[in-house]
Structures are given as C-alpha cells and as structure tokens.
Amino acid sequence: MDHHPHPLDGGSTAPASATPTAADLELLDEIQQRVLWLATRIVDSANHDRATGDGVKVGGHQASSASLVSTMTALWFAHLDEADRVSVKPHASPVFHAIQYLLGNLDRSYLTTLRARGGLQSYPSRTKDPDPVDFSTGSVGLGPAAPLFAAATRRYVDAHFGARPASRFVALMGDAELDEGNVWEAIADDATQGLGKVMWIVDFNRQSLDRVVPGVRIAQWTAQFAAAGWHVVEVKYGRRLRAAFARPGGEALRAWIDNMPNEHYQSLFGLPEQDVRKQFLDGAPREVADFCAVIPDAELATLVTDLGGHDLGSLLEAFAECDAVTDRPSVVFAYTVKGWGLPTAGNPRNHSALLTTAQVDELRTARGLTAATEWDGLDPATPAGRLAAERARLFTRPAAPSFVAPAVPEASGVRTGKPLSTQEAFGRVLAELSRQPELAPLLVTTAPDVATSTNLAGFINRTGVFAPVERRAWNSDPVLRWAEGPTGQHIELGISEMNLFLLLGQLGLSWDLSGQPLVPVGTVYDPFVLRGLDAFIYAVYSGSRFIVAGTPSGVTLAPEGGAHQSTITPSVGLELPNSVTLEPAYAGALDWLLCDAVGQVARGEGGAHYFRLTTRPLEQSPFDAAKARLGETVLRRQVLAGAYRLVEAPVSGDAPVVRLAASGAVLPEVLAAAAELAEEGIAAHVIDVTSQDLLYAEWQRTLRSGYRTARTPDSPGALRAAFGSGRAPLVTVHDAASHSMAWLGGALGVPTVPLGVDAFGQSGTVGDLYEINSLDSGSIVNAALAALSLAE
C-alpha cells in the first residue's frame, strides 16, 4: 500500500486533553455501528422497500458511505461544536442523514425517503433536504472548496463587523475529487491563505468508480498542499498496527504493507479471517512471515486491516492536531476502505453495488436488531443515547436572525449626458452607491484580476482592498489608489473564474453561515463566465444572493477576436434557475436595474443577478426621449419588468408594421434600421429588451396559470406593454446566438426573423463584425422586409 511519512507515527502533536479514553472509544464504536447500519438500510430501503413503478434503479452508495462512517461519527459525536460548518462528501449523504436522525434533527419518517419526491436528496442540499445542511455538494471538487471560501468570508465579516463565534470550516471529500482542477485553484489563491480554522478530510479509499486505483499520488498531493502553505496530516495506520510496528520485527511488517500494491491490500478486506494470512503473506519476506506466525488468524485479519481512517482514536488525535495549527489550513488524509464493515468491503466494483436482501438481513441480526427495531434511535437510557442527547443540544440551530435592510435608492443619480458604455455606467453607479451610509458597509466587490478593466476602480479607490493585515501601497498611480488592509471592501482574486463564483456564492450566504448579510458584487470578462459556470450553478443551487457583471460581451468586443467574444452566455443566463440575467443598453436603465438588484440582495430576496455589459459607448438621447414620452415612473416600471418601447413609430392607415426587439449594444443599428424603414413607409416599433429572462419568466407563469386551470392564458403584462397586442411580425437582434431571443416570436404568436451571432467571431471593428453577423442596419432592414413577407 503506497506510503508517505506519517506525522502521527512516533507521537502526535495533539494536546493530551484531546486524547480519548478506551471507554470513550468503545462508546463511539457502538454509535458508529448504528450509523453504519442506518446508512446502509436507508439505501437498501430506497431500492427494495419502495416501488417506483418506472423501472429505473433508485441507486445509492452503500460502500462509499461506509468508508466515512468512522470519520463522521468522530466529528459529530466527539469533535464538532455548534458554530462549526461542514461540507459532506456527496456519496456520504446516507451517513449524514443517519447521524442527523440520531441527533434528533431528522424525523424518522424521512429515513425511507432517500431519492424520493419530497424526501432525502441524493446528495446533501441546503435548499432541498429536511435536515440542516451547511453546504450543498454533488459536483465533485466544489463541495470541499465551499468551506474554504466560507472561511474567507468569515474572516472578512469578522474584520468589518466584529468577531463572530469561532467556527471551524470542515470539508469531507473523496480522494478522486483531488483530480478536479478547481480544488488546486482554490487552495492556491491569495484570498484563501492563512485560514487556520479550515480542515479538509480526504476519504482516502484509493478506489474510483470502476476499480482499485493501481497507483496512488499521495506524495504528489501532500507536496502540493504543503507548497500551498497547508498543514498536512496522514492517518494511515490504526493504533493496533502502530503498536505492532514498534515491536521487534515490526519494521519489516510496516515496509511490507507500505510497498504492497493497492489491489493486493484491498483484496484482504473481502476474505474470511482464515484466508487473510495466505493472501497477506503471498510473496512476503521471511521476517514478515515469522512475525505473523505467532498471531492467531482472527487477530491477524484485524491487525493487518487496521487502517487509520477507521480508528476513532487516531482520527480524533489528527483533528486535535489540526486544531492546534492556527496559522494555516489543514488537510487530513484518512486511509479508509470503501465498503468498510460491509460484505462488499474492498471489492473493486462496489461503488454503486447494493447489498442483497440476505446480506442486509444478516447485518441486521449481527447488530442485534429486528424488523421491528431496525429504525430505532439510540436508547436515551444508555450511555450512547445520553451522549447523543448531549451532542444534539450542540447542534440545535437557532432561528435565522432578522436583519434590518438598508435603504437603497431607486437610482444613483449618475450623470448620463455623454455617450456612455454600460460597463462604465456600472462602475459609476456602484461608486455612487458606496456613498450611501446604510448600504456602503454591506457592499463587497471581487474580481479575478480584472477589477480595473471592468471599471471597479472607482469603488476600490473609495473603499480599498481587503487584506487581513495592513499592506503598504507602493503604487503611486493616481488612477488606482490600491490601499490594502482589514477595512478594504474589494477582495482581489487570481485569474480563476471558478474561484470568483465560489467566493461570490459564499459571500452571498454570509447571512446564514456568518450571521451577517452582505451585498456581494463581482465582475468577470463575459466570455469566461463559462469557465466558472459549474461554480455559478453551484452557488445559485445553494440559494446564494449576489450580483455579477459579465463584461465586455459579444462580438462588440470586436478587436479581441473569437477567443474573447461571448455568444451563448445569454442563453445560459436565461436557463439558469434562481438567477436573473439583465442586458440594458442605456445607462439610465442600468442605473435602475442595478439599484433594484442591490436592493433585493440587501433585503434577502431573490438569487443571483447577472448583468451582461459592453464597452461600446452609446448615445443616451434615445432613452431620454423615451422617458419624456412615457414618463419616468412608467418607464422605470417597464425597464424593471424586462422591456419597454424605445421608439413608438407613427402608424398611418394600412401602412405595414414591424417590431424590432433588441438587447444591449446593438440598439444604434436597430434605431438606424427603424429610421430607414420609416423612409420606406414601414412603421417599425423598437423595443429595448432589458431582461429577456424576466420576460420569459412572466410568460411561463402566465402560461402555467392558464393550462393548469384549463383556461386560455392571458398575454403577460410586460410583453403587452412593450410589444402591444397586434399581429405585427418581429425581428430580434442580439449580440449573441440568434436563437436566444427567438422565443419571443412564440410568445407573441407572430412570424419572426431572429438575427444574432452563430459563428465564432474574428478581429475587426464593431462595424466589421456587425456586418459579418448581419447585425448592421442594412441587414436588419432586410430582415424586417422578410418578416413582413412571412406575415402576408
């Protein structure tokens, strides 16, 4: 079994007071046996007791759960405190629910509902599980990183609002998660350095989904963690094996196990006791055989499979050692076996394997349980039951505190007289909001090394950059006064979009995990939203609230070429639940939308707000004209609803009418096309779609309310106000994939010609790129004529 020097061998640095007694360990072993049974039976019940009727396997992970039973028992019944926050390995969900049941945080009725409608989720979920989950997990690699960024958020909160009750941020992760690149991005970032209250525990069972991993990269991984400034602990051997190593001849035994291939070692776990000796000593040197000769079969089988990750005492020593290291994060490699305590232990194909009914019956009987008592908790009259009751009091979470939301103005009052890009307007509005006395302390910005190029400089100059300790500013640039210290309100990240969304996600959960609401705002180059998409999805699935600006976007970033031009991000934003995507063209509309988004986050409403912005300066007079025509109150309401009529074309007699709908930077070309069509006697109404996401959501709500009550759906109010009720055909124009706004034709029930970008871009001027992709005014005119012909 591949080996790396073991810090616990030869003595631990854990405080003596943390050393558990033999009686403590015996009690914890009794509890972990009940946890193992319940976790196994939860999965078994889902697959054998519940008829699904659809022929689809329910599934579950009995073996992957079993490997963490010892670790999780040690944590919840002997180590964690009330304020600690834990991320649980996805496949250990049944173990987590079993523990929550024994602690009284989960009703017994849920134990038979794994993966059922309204029941226990496949993987721990903050928003869907009935028991208290700190961090959602499921997408491997993100669960471990979340507590790391939650700890960074707590450090920020403590520095700005006073110290909260001390929390440890713990992650339980599978060893295969170390294959995910985002894990290494997270530990390397400057924003996560020095977090002494973080502990990752790696379930080091050395198996993947399909096989026992033939080679283990433990030396590489521990070196990488150490190089990133982490404290590294390996819990490889249990106390029985370590005691054996200390006896004469024990070093040869240790060397034999250290050098044993993983496949050989894992094969010992599925054997009867009397067969372990032969398998273990196959090819062993004489001194090892001699050492083992005096050990009875039953004792030898227990001894040579004594892994540290299943030795409760060794685990608690390692946790105490990590607690003692307060200047950096810690990682514990707990050597385990997948399927520990089950007949499938060590089987290379046990990842999703289910115990047979006969095996479950045998396990039940071995635990002294019957069909009538199998779901029982711990008897409160026994030492185990009393310990569970004592620990349960620690994990009774108080109700979430109520917060008084700060006043947020409807508009910042930013000046919009000259041509202005939405990216520049975004930075100006944010800087103005930082002058609001109630709101300003809650604002926190972050960016992956693009703060200045996405126009956050004004905010940073006012508030500074966050650092745990004061850092001298050597830069004399008057444009960017980069003062760093504990009072700063901008968190600068390295170039990792995954880290951006992981941090935004945890900043947006600070009201729960750190007892302090924040208004997080992030910026990122829009093409690279997709690099962080997994973490973006993870954040909104977890119920986080934040604002992110993707800028610059589309082929409007013309000289940069195809590698930096985003075309599918609007579709991603439109389809992402718990978020709203906004793409205003004019600074006044952006001002209203951004202030509204800030207000929602500050009040604890909604989810994420994704602004898609550009660097192209636009004349602001068309928006001012619409405000004069509609009035500020009406226009603001329509902008916030998702669309308004920018140009109301005069219609005379039976003149043909067409509607031109567009978002963002293409509005000047659309206005030019409308003017050209007017010269040809065609009335072209121009609709500025500030958020197709909001429009789509209202359309769907209206449809559902109709077909679910078997009545004709009404036309959504926002669509009706902006587009009118006529049958005029439609042209959609978007600096994005042409299909992204094509749905509007279906919503309005009219012939539609969608224009957009359906190929990778190239370098050139904005005019060049618009012409290539049929976004120029001439192409829009031709599309309008085509739409009219379709309507004939």
Q: Can you give the pLDDT at residue 394?
A: 77
Say how far apart CA 437 and CA 406 lie, in whole Å.
9
Give yes or no: residues 147 and 229 share one domain. Answer: yes
In this predicted structure, what is the pLDDT of residue 403?
87
Cis-peptide into 552, omega within 30 deg: yes
The amino acid sitting at 116 is A
Query: At 671, which CATH number?
Result: 3.40.50.920
The confidence score (pLDDT) of residue 10 equals 29
Nearest Cα residue to 342 out of 367, 312, 363:
363
Output the pLDDT for position 478. Answer: 61
Which residues, including other chains, have CB under 8 Å from residue 733's CB and lie 6 or more apart? Answer: 660, 661, 662, 666, 669, 670, 741, 755, 756, 775, 780, 783
Q: Note the pLDDT of residue 14.
A: 34
pLDDT at res. 653: 85
Is 298 within the bounds of a domain? Answer: no
Structure tokens at 683: 């009335």
At 714 the three-state DSSP class reads coil
DSSP letter assigned to residue 768? H
Q: Are residues 115 and 171 in the same domain?
A: yes
In a domain, 785, yes or no: yes
Same domain, 739 and 783: yes
State pTM to two decimals.
0.93
Q: Report the b/e string of 498-518 with b at 16+ CB within 10 A.
A: bbbbbbbbbbbbbbbbbbbbb
175 annotated among ligand-binding-site residues: yes
User: Which backbone phi and psi does 86 adopt, to 5 degrees?
Assistant: -130, 135
Query: CB 219: neighbour CB atoms within 10 A?
Result: 12
Q: How many DSSP H helices and E strands does the chain contain?
A: 31, 18
pLDDT value at residue 251: 96
472 contacts: CB under 8 Å, gap ≥ 6: none
Q: Please check whether residue 566 lies inside any domain of the structure.
A: yes
Neighbours of 112 (CB within 10 A): 16
CB 508 within 8 A of CB 518: yes
Which of 612, 632, 666 finishes a domain? 612
Strands 484-485 and 752-755: unpaired
Transcribe 513-582 into DSSP letters: HSS---EEEEEE-GGGGTTTHHHHHHHHHTT--EEEEE-S-STTSGGG-GGG--SSHHHHHHH-TTEEEE
Instruction: Give a yes or no: residue 755 inside a domain.
Output: yes
Closest CA to 139 of 181, 197, 199: 181
pLDDT beneath 70, residues of the chain: 1-18, 52-55, 207-216, 348-351, 396-400, 473-481, 710-715
- Under 8 Å between Cβ of 730 and 752: yes
Same domain, residue pair 207 and 346: yes
Q: Which two tokens stand for residue 76?
A: 């919840």
Q: What pLDDT, on a 0 to 100 scale, did the predictor assign at position 16?
A: 35
Paired tokens of 114: 């794994």
295 belongs to a structural domain = no
Structure tokens at 257: 């196990």
Q: How far apart (Å, rounded) are the C-alpha atoms in residues 92 and 143? A: 12
* Same-domain status, 649 and 781: yes
Q: Is 456 exposed, middle or buried (0-12, 13-18, 19+ CB in 10 A)?
A: buried
Residues 567 and 517 in one domain: yes
Please, what is the end-to-end C-alpha distance for the chain in angstroms?
77
Same-domain check for residues 526 and 664:
no
**C-beta of residue 505 within 8 angstroms of C-beta of residue 544:** yes
Alpha-carbon distance of 440 to 430, in angstroms, equals: 10
Q: What is the pLDDT of residue 61?
A: 84
Instruction: Confirm if 504 and 426 have CB atoms less than 8 A apart.
Output: no
On whether the CB atoms of residues 322 and 330 are closer than 8 A, the answer is yes
Indicate whether 708 belongs to any domain: no
Q: Is residue 407 part of a domain?
A: no
CB 761 within 8 A of CB 770: no
Contacts of 626 (CB under 8 A, 6+ apart): 635, 644, 645, 646, 647, 688
Q: Is 47 known to sit in a ligand binding site?
A: no
Predicted confidence at residue 706, as pLDDT, reads 75
CATH number at residue 482: 3.40.50.970
Bridge partners (DSSP) of residue 686 are: 647, 660
Is 253 among the domain residues?
Answer: no
Buried b (16+ CB within 10 A) or exposed e, 88-107: bbbbbbbbbbbbbbbbebbe
Q: Distances in Å between the alpha carbon of 614 and those of 583, 590, 736?
A: 9, 12, 12
Q: Which of 752, 692, 754 is nearest to 728 (CA)?
A: 752
Distance CA 535, CA 141 (A): 10
Q: Is residue 458 located within the same domain as residue 359?
A: no
Q: What pLDDT was estimated at residue 714?
A: 67
Residue 317's alpha-carbon distances to 7, 51, 535, in angstroms, are: 11, 45, 34
Do 516 and 561 lie in one domain? The reply is yes
What is the distance, to the nearest Å, from the Cα of residue 378 to the centroid of all Cα atoms in its chain?
35
User: DSSP state, 506?
Assistant: H
Q: Strand 643-647 vs strand 657-663: parallel, antiparallel, or unpaired?
A: unpaired
Claim to verify: residue 60 and residue 184 sit in the same structural domain: yes
Q: How many domains does the chain have?
A: 3
SS3 category, 166: coil
Are 743 and 719 in contact, with CB atoms under 8 Å apart?
no
For position 467, what pLDDT does the model report?
95
Per-state percent for the chain, helix, strand, coil, to nearest 5? 45, 10, 40
Q: How far apart are CA 68 and CA 89, in angstroms?
A: 9
Domain that holds residue 579: 422-612
Q: Is 499 part of any known ligand binding site?
A: no
The closest alpha carbon to 270, from 323, 177, 207, belongs to: 207
Residue 531: other Cβ atoms inside 10 A: 18
Q: Which two tokens stand for residue 557?
A: 């970033």
- 401, with CB counted inside 10 A (0-12, 13-18, 19+), is exposed
Q: How many residues does the chain have?
A: 792
Residues 389 and 441 reside in one and the same domain: no
User: Are 426 and 547 in the same domain?
Assistant: yes
